[in-house]
């Protein structure tokens, strides 16, 4: 591991686990489970459930929309819409290049 990669993986164990797992691997997402025409809501619900059950604890960073979209084989717009829905609900906060982080559990 080079020094740049090492510095990216330092910090909380959760952030390192999420960051090194790629996009969808840590959530074990299977796009075949998504109903046709309901992929955005499906993805939003899966991420919301991961926050609720502690898979994505407070402060953890979500994969970039590009990475998650590529891994799922969907458009980036679908992922950004799911992230926006979570942000509108106050569960995540996007910080530009710093990424999107979990800020609150679902009610």
Higher pLDDT, 104 or 29: 104
In eight-state DSSP terms, residue 28 is T
Let me know: does 61 contact 15? Beta carbons within 8 Å.
Answer: yes
CA 51 to chain centre: 10
Which ranges in 1-107 belong to alpha helices (H)? 3-9, 13-20, 39-52, 65-72, 76-88
Judged by DSSP in three states, 96 sits in: helix
* Domains of the chain and any CATH numbers: 3-102 (1.10.10.10)
Q: What is the pLDDT of residues 37-66, one digit of tens each?
A: 889 999 999 999 999 999 999 999 999 999
Q: Which of 101, 29, 23 is nearest to 68 (CA)?
A: 23
Q: What is the pLDDT of residues 60-99, one digit of tens each?
A: 999 999 999 998 889 999 999 999 999 999 999 999 888 9
Beta bridge partners of residue 101, listed in sequence order:
61, 93
Q: What confidence tier does 29 reach under pLDDT thresholds 50, 70, 90?
A: confident
Let me know: does 72 contact 64? Beta carbons within 8 Å.
Answer: no
């Amino acid at each position: 591991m080079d020094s740049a990669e090492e510095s990216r993986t330092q910090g909380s164990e959760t952030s390192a686990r999420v960051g090194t797992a790629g996009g969808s691997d840590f959530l074990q997402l299977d796009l075949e489970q998504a109903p046709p025409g309901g992929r955005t809501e499906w993805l939003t619900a899966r991420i919301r459930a991961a926050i609720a059950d502690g898979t994505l604890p407070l402060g953890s960073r979500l994969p970039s929309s590009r990475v998650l979209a590529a891994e799922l084989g969907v458009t980036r717009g679908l992922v950004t819409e799911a992230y926006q829905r979570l942000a509108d609900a106050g569960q995540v906060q996007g910080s530009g290049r710093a990424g999107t982080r979990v800020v609150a559990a679902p009610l």
